[in-house]
């Protein structure tokens, strides 16, 4: 049975001289892997910010199923070489809620499990600032997943990565999608990434949008006409 996790209804966002999303409505069901695509400036990042409750839409609504926990992987942001945390400590930042300086036994288990599942065990003591770009993105992914979210939002998370690292990161996301029922929303410019990994797409254009099944799209040109 499908279980709707996110329900976006008649969303619109007005900025001076610009209107984004023409009454945008869509649902995201548990286990969906939705790619949000569209040209620069159509509002992809703004939509993500609205989903993360960082901006309030001018009209319309975004409803989450009660208890939905959301994880977020940002665009690549470089971390200074001297940043003092190890990869392990960096991933753990999302666990403690700032309440205690140490981790409970259960939290330590959660941390060990996510490091294992994201292939970071061998480099967990490496300083995050010294890690490669691909390792840093994996650490961001592990950080977003360590407290077991229902929904993961990725914003151009592979933009700085080469093809091998890009597939490595998304193979992991796919693993969590298929094995742990993680629901995924991924903003991307990358047609190949969308086609390989997602089951649905939301194409944003200046004055309309299109929702569809990725299986119906054979090549990039098909998206021009939607
Ligand atoms: N706080 C704001 N105030 C005014 N205009 C804004 C604000 N936030 C976004 N915009 C405008 O909304 C439009 C959409 O921006 P947004 O960053 O969401 O697009 P995008 O699709 O993510 O683009 P890109 O692919 O380049 O990242 C842009 O023209 C931007 O200037």
Dump pLDDT digits (tens) for 19-58. Answer: 898 899 999 999 999 999 998 889 999 999 999 999 999 9
Ligand 1: residue of 13, 44, 188 to mutate (most ligand atoms within 8 A of CB) is 44
Q: Are residues 182 and 221 in the same domain?
A: yes
Tell whether 187 and 83 lie within a shared domain.
Answer: no
For residues 67 and 53, what is the distance between their CA atoms, to the nearest angstrom? 15
Ligand 1 pocket test, pick from 43, 55, 209 with the greatest ligand atom count within 8 Å of Cβ, gives 43
Q: Show which of 110, 129, 148 is a domain's final residue.
A: 148
Whether 97 lines ligand 1, by a CB cut-off of 6 Å, is no
3 and 107 part of one domain:
no
Structure confidence at residue 97 (pLDDT): 60
Query: Is the ipTM beyond the 0.90 threshold?
Result: yes
Range of the domain at 121: 76-148
Co-location of 160 and 64 in the same domain: yes
Q: How confident is the model at residue 224 (pLDDT cuts 50, 70, 90)?
A: confident
Reported as a single tens digit per residue, the pLDDT across 101-159 is: 678 888 999 999 999 999 999 999 999 999 999 999 999 999 999 999 999 999 998 88
pTM of the model: 0.93
Last residue of a domain, one of 132, 148, 164: 148
pLDDT exceeding 70 applies to what percent of the chain?
A: 97
* Residue listed under structure tokens 């991924």: 186
- What is the distance, to the nearest Å, from the Cα of residue 124 to the centroid of all Cα atoms in its chain? 22
Do 112 and 97 share a structural domain? yes
CB 161 within 8 A of CB 189: no
Q: Which two tokens stand for residue 132?
A: 């490669």
Q: Is the pLDDT of residue 18 over 70?
A: yes
Domain shared by 178 and 191, yes or no = yes
The four Cα atoms 70, 71, 77, 82 give a dihedral, to 10 degrees, of 130
Cα 226 from chain centre = 24
The CA distances from residue 77 to 107, 158, 194, in Å, are 26, 11, 22
Residue nearest to atom 9 of ligand 1 (CA): 46
Confidence of residue 98 (pLDDT cuts 50, 70, 90): low
Judge if 114 and 180 occupy the same domain: no
Strand 4-15 relative to strand 59-64, pairing: antiparallel
The dihedral region occupied by 186, where left means phi > 0, alpha psi between -120 and 50, and beta the remainder, is: beta
Same domain, 126 and 173: no
Q: Residue 201 maps to which CATH number?
A: 3.40.50.300
Q: How far is it, in rounded angstroms, from Cα 158 to Cα 134?
A: 9
Strand order across the 209-213 sheet: 70-73, 151-155, 183-187, 33-38, 200-204, 209-213
């Amino acid at each position: 049975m499908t279980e709707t996790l996110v329900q976006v209804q008649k969303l619109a966002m007005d900025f001076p001289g610009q209107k984004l999303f023409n009454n945008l409505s869509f649902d995201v069901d548990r286990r969906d892997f939705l790619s949000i695509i569209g040209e620069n400036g159509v509002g992809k990042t703004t939509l993500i910010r609205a989903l993360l409750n960082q901006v309030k839409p001018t009209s319309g609504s975004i409803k989450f199923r009660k208890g939905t926990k959301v994880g977020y992987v940002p665009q690549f942001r470089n971390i200074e070489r001297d940043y003092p945390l190890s990869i392990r400590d960096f991933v753990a930042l999302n666990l403690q809620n700032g309440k205690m300086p140490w981790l409970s036994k259960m939290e330590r288990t959660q941390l060990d499990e996510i490091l294992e599942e994201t292939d970071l065990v061998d480099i967990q003591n490496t300083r995050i600032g010294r890690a490669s770009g691909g390792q840093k993105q994996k650490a961001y992914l592990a950080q977003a997943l360590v407290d077991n979210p229902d929904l993961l939002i990725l914003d151009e998370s592979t933009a700085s990565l080469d093809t091998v690292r890009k597939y490595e990161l998304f193979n992991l996301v796919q693993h969590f999608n298929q094995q742990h029922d993680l629901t995924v929303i991924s903003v991307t410019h990358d047609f190949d990434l969308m086609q390989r990994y997602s089951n649905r797409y939301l194409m944003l254009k200046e004055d309309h949008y299109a929702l569809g099944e990725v299986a119906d799209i054979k090549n990039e040109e098909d998206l021009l006409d939607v």
